[in-house]
Structure 1
């Protein structure tokens, strides 16, 4: 076991997360209410991505890479569409079984109404429900740079939209040139106890944050890469607040089109973490392509790091 890696039976501490990734010539998060155009704050030129989109990446990564005995996914893609009550029947409509077996419930929480099958005399589940606010929560991401949309291109499909038509259907393909997106997240120790979220679950989250984007790529998402993952822990709850406010983007006069066109200054954030006596930098991973300047600001022995790329 590497230095700084915890035993699986240790309690999860309060913590905060910064996750930065790039999205290049793709659609980071289309808006279904607006022709699936990338979500934008047009007044600032800022690209937006919902926390639901990030959680979908994490769930799909878990589904493909973790054994289902205690790491099943409650909110998963299935052939037949189900509501939460129907999905609960796969776990015998048992609240404890759902929580113990489903890592996404332990991590993100859920509100699930439980009902017995109609026609059965056993009504023990009637009126029961799961109402958990998960210990791991994320804000919506926003881009650290101003983002330009690629002019929409019409695309055709081989199959027609209606039976009997001879031609394929037409659609629009909306993308961004380059978006440097940042999520901020919080981990609650109190909610971790309530949802039975374990230290092993937390380590699985660490891996998913680094691996999920590229392992779950699709036609509209290819070109996304993780650049920075940072997680803190607190001996006592003394949160710093949104880490993104301490990150400075340095770019030249040209529009950003790749990671070579800018650098990120993390010194203010690291100084804030070091100044917080209750805080420890538990995990940091930096993509080799990300320019963060002179990394000496991390210190000679930077916080028991196990995943820092040099």
Structure 2
């Protein structure tokens, strides 16, 4: 399998992209830069949940919303695995998230560790982000003396345009038996998972741009594509996708310089996402020098 690198952008409007349990579930922030942060584990959770909903067998999951021992997960999955002698091929053929992301499987007396070929850096917002804080009241009393319900705090971002970077290692893919069809399922999950798995705090998040640059070999890595893009804010402190555009002119130049190393570019662009290369253009015009494959 060849290497790929991923650029994934989505926005959040009056939502909490990734609450920090150490900060009363406030959105994760780099307060010095006023940048919203989202962990790679949050993105992987979206992907796992989407794949599980599609009928795929997932190892890193919960049973009835409770954390359990790995042995019980394997029993629940109803896969033909001998817990006393876990064979590598059996594990990998059964579990797509282990093929993608790897896992440590602390089965008593037979621990297995796999390093996944698909990895993401932490996501961060391309714009400065303001937080909203509000009081919320439960309709259910906490005890007989409290008839008015429990009080709490609700934290949201006003608007955050979030960028993720990822890599798929062709060499590591060979060790986890990753398949080309797994990569196609990963593409679909990244594009579709966030809006489909919305909860109360996650409503208002939508994928805006996805690029997966597939190289001609399992050695090429060109680097974090976020370094080559810039959010063009039409007004100060944007609050909606209609108030921003994405300048990808430097990214195009970067990829054109390395065109001989690139096999395909897989892409998804939301119809509301405006792209700039000197002026506003369609992605097929910007990347016309490449073999483009649209994802839907």
* Counterpart Cα distance in 2 of 1:159 and 1:181: 35
| Equivalent residue, structure 1, for 2:94 | 101
The DSSP-based 3-state class of the residue aligned with 2:58 is coil
Indicate conservation of the 8 Å contact 1:74/1:105, yes or no.
yes
TM-score (norm 2): 0.89
CA drift at 1:302? 4.5
The DSSP-based 3-state class of the residue aligned with 1:305 is strand
* Counterpart Cα distance in 2 of 1:83 and 1:241: 38
| Equivalent residue, structure 2, for 1:246 | 228
Change (3 A) 1:162 1:274: farther
- Pairs aligned (count): 280
- When the two chains are superposed, the root-mean-square deviation of aligned CA atoms in Å is 1.7
Q: 1:158-184 deviations in whole A, cap 9, x for unaligned? A: 223347743311111000000000000
CA drift at 1:217? 0.4
Once structures 1 and 2 are overlaid, which stretch shifts more, 169-178 or 251-260?
Answer: 251-260
Indicate conservation of the 8 Å contact 2:117/2:168, yes or no.
yes
* Counterpart Cα distance in 2 of 1:130 and 1:167: 51
Change (3 A) 1:129 1:242: same
| Equivalent residue, structure 2, for 1:8 | none
Pairwise mapping of residues 1-310 of structure 1 onto structure 2 (< 5 A)? 12-65=1-54, 67=55, 71-79=56-64, 80-90=66-76, 91-93=81-83, 94-95=86-87, 96-115=89-108, 126=109, 128-150=110-132, 152-162=133-143, 165-236=146-217, 237-276=219-258, 277-292=260-275, 293-295=280-282, 296-299=285-288, 302-307=290-295
TM-score (norm 1): 0.85
Once structures 1 and 2 are overlaid, which stretch shifts more, 249-258 or 187-196?
Answer: 249-258
The DSSP-based 3-state class of the residue aligned with 1:33 is helix
Note the residue ranges of structure 1 that are not aligned, 5 or more in a row.
1-11, 116-125
Note the residue ranges of structure 2 that are not aligned, 5 or more in a row.
none
* Counterpart Cα distance in 1 of 2:99 and 2:30: 32
* Counterpart Cα distance in 2 of 1:157 and 1:113: 39
